[in-house]
Amino acid sequence: MVVVGGLLLVAGAVVAIVLGGDAPGGWLLPVGLLAAGLGVLVAGAVAAVRRRVPLLAAVRAHRATPVGGPLRRARAVPGMLVATARGRNPVLPRYQLLLWLVALAYLVSPIDFIPDFLPLLGIGDDIGVGAWLLTGLYAESGNYLAALEQRREADSE
């Protein structure tokens, strides 16, 4: 991903230098390539760092065995958030909760990294943040349900 992001950045710079504003669409193509390249580059860098940082063994075990369907996971989200805020959720670190709150505030606020009046690009950052937020909540709620089931099994033995 880092390489693809770098290539998109280079392509955006080349298009901006070679064609300038004379290309069809004017400035939209170079800006779009630069924005896409920067986004993919940052996402690739975060993924590379995340792979190198050792995760808790419990988190890896829960991710290997997903639990619950979409409705069950959606019902588990409030309990997961409360348990994480109180420090009772060993699977999910508190900083993840903070990141989700920042993402939610970004989606609700009228201030954007890329203004919404830019066609396709303006709404793209909101879609990306929203997709990241929903997929993160969905995945971690499955991990939370798996941890609850393991705790129940341990208590019953």
Instruction: Look up the domain containing 95 and give its range.
Output: 56-157
Do 40 and 75 lie in a common domain? no
The two tokens of residue 116 are 């919404």
Q: Which residue type sits at 62?
A: H
Q: What is the pTM of this model?
A: 0.57
Do 43 and 63 fall into the same domain? no
76 burial type by CB count under 10 A (0-12 exposed, 13-18 middle, 19+ buried): buried
Domain total in the chain = 2
Residue range 34-86, pLDDT digits in tens? 787 888 777 777 777 776 665 554 455 445 556 778 899 999 999 999 999 99
Instruction: Enter the DSSP assignment of 54.
Output: P
Helix residue ranges per DSSP H, the chain: 2-18, 28-52, 57-64, 70-85, 94-108, 121-156
